[in-house]
Amino acid sequence: MRTSMRANKFGSMVNGRVILVTGGTGSFGKKFIKMTLTHFRPRKIIVFSRDEMKQWDMRTEFESLDKRGTLRYFIGDVRDLARLELAFSGVDYVVHAAATKIVPTAEYNPFEAVKTNILGAMNIITAAIAQKVKRVVALSTDKACNPINLYGATKLCADKLFIAGNAYTSKNDVRFAIVRYGNVMGSRGSMIPFFIEMAKKGEIPITDVRMTRFMITLKQAVGLVWESMTDCVGGEIYVPKIPSVKVVDVAKAVSSSAKLKVIGIRPGEKLHELLIGEDDSRCTYEYGNHYKILPMIYDWHESVKRIGKGKKCQDGFVYASNTNVSWIKAEQLKKWFAHERSENNSLRSSLD
């Protein structure tokens, strides 16, 4: 019932409208576009990304699904403000999924991570306001909560920029909101496809046997973006209620025969992840399938409209992967592998 209501609201909003997805050829972007094309009738969906080959491959992959000719492909980089402003012309809704997201990559290439994740966020905000986009939902990460690595720090900075962007909209009805979640099951460059590749060599590297992570499916991530797009007043961070997993259990689910090799925590890694820290609890509210962190600036956390029917979390509330009440076991992961094999390209290519 909840999913149906969320979808109906999103459908009423986007039918006949124009949506742009930055990083549209990525795992999330493709899933968002596939689900949106399947369930709704937007007038146009613009795939904004910088890799022409990925766009070409996506054209082929989505050819049978895009029977109405809804998809448009726009080569561009979020670092390029002029290109964004051109792409945003006539756009109603933006989903910002483009990012430099691999933790070690950001650690060793900090200038590039800052250019994409921080300056890119500034450009998205500026272009959206200039072109009078109605809504922008930006994807964040659990690593933005009390960050210890550069990737997390750049995404925290981007979150702050999107929140503050709501103060610069003037008379334009532009709203910026954020969705923050954990590891996406099977997404390109993530833990599961990496473990699958390593298992073929007979050995899976484990950084620490105690390590835990939050897990979310691409379908759940898309659903939360739909909900935030219809619900946001501006400045909210939406955090889904999702299970945790032990990294060791992921490795065991991938292969029961591969040897597990402990290699130690890599630069920028945490032992456990946070989605909501203790300091966030003062302005965090609980809902049926998610939490909402409201911004402290301008006393927006006291806004009745932003709070809605939420229940205030207790001071000191922490949403951490190691103390979560919901967990995925190795056997449940195996069932998920079987289900997703036919739907997720990155996982399927690794398994074949």
Q: Scan for tokens 């399947």, then name that residue.
A: 38
The dihedrals phi and psi of 170, each to the nearest 5 degrees, come to 55, -130
In angstroms, the CA 50 to CA 43 distance is 23
Q: Scan for tokens 């800052």, then name that residue.
A: 114
DSSP helix/strand/coil, 48: strand
At CB < 8 A and 24+ separation, what contacts does 255-260 make? 255/195, 255/199, 255/204, 257/202, 258/198, 258/199, 258/202, 258/203, 258/204, 259/202, 259/203, 259/204, 260/203, 260/204, 260/206
Q: Rounded to 10 degrees, what is the CA torsion of 22, 23, 28, 30?
A: 90
In angstroms, the CA 240 to CA 67 distance is 33
Catalytic residue check, 143 = yes
Catalytic option among 143, 155, 241, 252 = 143
Residues marked active site are found at: 143
